[in-house]
Structure 1
Amino acid sequence: MAVKTFEAQSCHVNGKVWDAGARPRRALVDPADGHVLTSVPDSAAEDVDAAVDAARAAFDNGPWPRMSGRERSRVLLRISQLIQEHADELAELESYNVGKPITLARVVDVSTAVEQYEYWAALAQTLDGATRGLPIPAFAYTVREPVGVVGAITPFNFPLILSSSKIGPALAAGNTIVHKPSDETPLSALFMARLFTEAGVPDGVVNVVTGTGPVVGEAMLRHPGIDKIAFTGSSKVGRHVGAVAGQHLKPVTLELGGNGAHLVFKDADLDAAIGAVIKAFVFNTGQFCMAGPRLLVERPLYETVVAILAQAVPGVPVGDPRDPGTVVGPMAGERHLAKVEEYLALARAEGKIVAGGARRPGAGYFVEPTVVTDLPATSRVLHEEVFGPVLTVQPFDDEDEAVRIANSTPYGLSAGLQTSDLARAHRVASRLHAGIVWVNDWSMLDPAMPFGGVKGSGHGRENGPEVLEGYTRTKSVLIAMPPAQG
């Protein structure tokens, strides 16, 4: 595998490089072999203050919130164009920083970001209010206004996409932003900060501060100058985010963990179902909150499906993320690999591993795609978010049992089913506790379709016109009408 390094990176505040003084620096490593790629500042609360001050000034006195939706739309469309122009650089950053297979980074991550900003550009022109006919003598109407300064906190697994899913709609609505990317994978966020400036985003509108959650993230949660928090991450941290935001009466959007169930009924197209099942648990090396790590198979098909997976899964290409043929790369970091290895040890003790089950020898944070059967119903491997390429398989006897098992975890982000019965597809989809349900495929996503969680998977929605509800406030205006003169 090629060894590559990048120049040392700095934060981006008020449209300029922010050196953060003599802050300690964090080394970023290539998950494929562990070599150091570059370093970024471990920022302090004072750096958050500077970023918030810049965002506050840009919101209170700058042009961005006062532009028409059409003017903001032109800038957002330019961002989309710049992402296309720098597609190779962004894909390379995601591949080296996260360990993504380069093909995945190009055709999914970068392409999705292009489509996101195209969509937000269109959505920026749709912000409007409504007149209301009232029985009182008043002319009444509503307007939608930006919430103010948005604190966006994003995770390690899809840095470009998940940053865009917050920054894009926040910009479309006229907000300003302080963004804390993951302390492990911030490179594409820092690159994008330069593109925002090139696209014509005014200084102070988008600010990027690197650092840890306990320092930078906590300062953002508690900062009086931040008006709203948009967070994607684990359910554990999300509960803390929601609690602190609540103390400060700060609105918050939480897109949290998942443990999606994938139901295969006996009338499914088996070839198509197997392809969707494998995609659902190996996509992005299983580091996908909307993954399908729990496979539920109707009993007449159970043994057949397990046998097929035992043969097919070891053939999934695992290896060098820069090889265009690689499907599964390394885990994004050593701690993520260690977490998956803990669950694999538990799976070996409690169930039966029919494919994979081990860390790959040599450098890098690689783990084999793994299929596990015969786990007890109470196993943590079934009920917790493993966040790696691990698939558990359980049988069910009827639709009611399938739905009961599917809904038995604390999560409710995604779910899916394979069936040729259209009535069943609608019926089961309506009973699954999930914010998004796929039928006869997995991970079909588009910026126009909202997603988000129920139960422990959070609240609020990303994407679609629904996302603007989280980045705007509705104001009512009533103008008294004088009585008619007789």
Structure 2
Amino acid sequence: MSFKNFLAGRWVDGDDILEVEDPATGETVAEAPLAGEVTLERALEAARKSAERGDLAAMVPQRRADLMRRIAQEIRSIAAEGAELLTRESGKRLSDARAEFDEAAAYFDYYGGMADKMEGKHIPLGPNYVDYTVLEPVGVSAQVVPWNFPVSLAARSLAPALATGNAVIVKSPELDPLGLTVLARALEAAEVPEGAVSILNGTGIDLGAKLVASSRIDQIVFTGSVPTGQAILRAAAENVTPSLMELGGKSAAIAFDDADLDTLLESVRWGIFFNAGQVCSAMSRLLVQRGLYNRAVEACAALANSLSVGHGLDEADHTPVISARQLGGIAQMVSAAIRDGAIAAAGGAPLARAGHFMAPTVLRDVRPDSRIALEEVFGPVLCMIPFDTEEEAIAIANGTEFGLVAGVFTHDLSRAHRVASKLRAGQVFVNEWFAGGIATPFGGIGKSGFGREKGVEALFNYVRTKNVAISLKR
């Protein structure tokens, strides 16, 4: 299969090529085209013209809603093909890759249902005035997508942007850009207006940097690391471009003595070992009250050791991390933590096999102020920390620069509410990590970023409020 960039409804070659690797084997999956400056300029021009013409904004809202649902249907029709491609380039399990395409379709269905329900309001100023607000699209949205969930996270921002009438340029991740090619085919088949969407593959340091620095965009949506987010914000400041940032996390779950251990283990399985721990909202720290701590450590270690390891196409429990560079960074942080006094109850090192596999790792007795307890690992590494009191647990959980998600495990409903209210996080899970869904707002505070994705709340990232005040005085 050959791959091209999706430029304003047309397929174009790149200025260069990039080999896309299978993380499970180290072999080349395909050659992806890299868009250069000329291609970007064409995409910017097309998006600007589309926004000014109102290709989507001037469309009758019901028609725009119908378009969104057609996109969802087209995504589902090619999801099986796309899932296999995504598995080969990202390393994730085939079932998880398929679920990613299903979730992408669900985003378009969800926001399709909202496309004709964005309403302004009347503001009463007395009998001599008529005052109302109008919600207008921001214009051109530049969206930089990460490599851990490229298809679903592209849909997460693309769907509300299109539902509210914007033009969009998506910069796909260079490590696994192929799945987004399949998403672009769905947009084409659904007959999205030409110019309204471009999906370009390129490196962050080249294409991404030029895109976010352009004066012809009206908004930046970024999901990724803190350093990259900071660089984008510096570029955004030059043009005062509004930005939506979903950055890193070092999220903590707090398990009290009365927590159900089986329930906790199920959340550990998904919270830190899903997608090899490459999840911004992963359960990277597990704080356990002293009376449950040793049993929890043993159970988490047994869980880690029980996971089958292998290729995503074989539906292994544990799959590779995305690249040799990523694996090296994870291994280095774990080694440093062990030298610093943490004990590897399970794993602790890369696996001796082809591909980029880190052993599912459980570190016990991690110091709350150690580097691995404060910095994002972005891999299958669970840091376990004991605590005695509720106040101590809250202080440890809030003791990082991040504030993306957090969790509480307890049968005490009063304590669950009390602790949730004190946790510094944009979302708190109680007795189930990753509870919620497309309808629940998601985003962080501190160095985890700002703004909210998902839910009805996300739509307001993509519109501006205009007030019209009319005097009726004679």
Normalised by the shorter chain, which TM-score bucket? over 0.9
Q: Does 2:73 match 1:81?
A: yes
Stretches of 4+ aligned residues off by more than 3 angstroms: none
Give yes or no for the alignment of 1:313 onto 2:307: no
User: Is the partner of 1:152 in helix, strand or coil?
Assistant: strand
Please show how residues 223-372 of structure 1 align to structure 2 within 5 Å.
Answer: 223-324=214-315, 326-350=316-340, 351-372=342-363
Structure 1, gaps ≥5 residues long: 1-6
Paired positions, count: 473
SS at match of 1:376: coil
Counterpart for residue 28 of structure 1: 20
Query: What is the identity percentage for the equivalent residue pairs of Structure 1 and Structure 2?
Result: 38
Please give the per-residue CA displacement for 1:170-221, whole angstroms capped at 9, x wherever unaligned. Answer: 0000000111011111111121112111102111111011111111111111
Aligned positions of 1:55-74 closer than 5 A:
55-74=47-66
Q: Deviations over 1:300-333 (max 9, x none)?
A: 1111111222222100122121113x12211011
1:347–1:353 CA contact under 8 A, matched in 2: no
Instruction: Check whether the contact 1:69–1:127 (CA below 8 A) recurs between aligned residues.
Output: no
108-117 or 255-264: which moved more? 108-117
Of 272-281 and 160-169, deviating more is 272-281
1:122-133 correspondence runs (5 A): 122-133=113-124
Q: Deviations over 1:432-455 (max 9, x none)?
A: 111111000111231111100100
Answer whether contact 1:262 1:277 (CA < 8 A) is retained: no
Secondary structure of residue in 2 paired with 1:203: coil
**Matched residues in 2 for 1:230 and 1:263: separation?**
31
Deviation of 1:245 (Å):
0.7
Q: Which residue of 2 aligns with 1:174?
A: 165
Larger CA deviation: 158-167 vs 136-145: 136-145
Which piece of structure 1 moves more, 255-264 or 64-73? Answer: 64-73
The CA RMSD measured in Å over matched residues stands at: 1.2
Superposition pairs of residues 319-468 of structure 1, within 5 angstroms: 319-324=310-315, 326-350=316-340, 351-468=342-459
Superposed displacement of residue 57, structure 1: 1.2
Equivalent pair of 1:159/1:188 in contact (CA under 8 Å): yes
Query: In the TM superposition, what is the alpha-carbon distance from 1:13 to its structure 2 partner?
Result: 0.8
Q: Is the 8 A contact 1:14 1:206 kept in 2?
A: yes
Q: Is the 8 A contact 1:407 1:433 kept in 2?
A: yes
Give the C-alpha shift of residue 101 in structure 1: 0.6
1:327 maps to amino acid: D
User: Which one of 75, 94, 98 corresponds to residue 86 of structure 2?
Assistant: 94
1:451–1:461 Cα contact (<8 Å) kept: yes
For residue 136 of structure 1, report the CA deviation from its aligned partner.
Answer: 7.2
Distance apart, 1:14 and its partner CA: 1.8
Secondary structure of the equivalent of 1:322?
Answer: helix
Structure 1 counterpart of 2:97, which letter? A
What letter is aligned with 2:36? Answer: A
**Residue of structure 2 equivalent to 1:52:** 44
Q: Within 5 Å, which residues of 2 pair with 1:73-222?
A: 73-106=65-98, 108-135=99-126, 137-222=128-213
Structure 2-normalised TM-score? 0.98
Q: How far did residue 62 of structure 1 move?
A: 4.7
Q: Give how far 1:8 is off.
A: 3.2
Q: Map Cα deviations across residues 25-70 of structure 1 (whole Å, 9 max, x no partner).
A: 1100111101111112222222211111111111112521201221
**What is the CA–CA distance in structure 2 between the aligned matches of 1:92 and 1:277, rounded to whole Å?**
26
**Separation of aligned partners in 1, 2:458 and 2:160:** 7
Distance 1:318 1:335 in 2: 20
Unaligned stretches of 5+ residues in structure 2: none
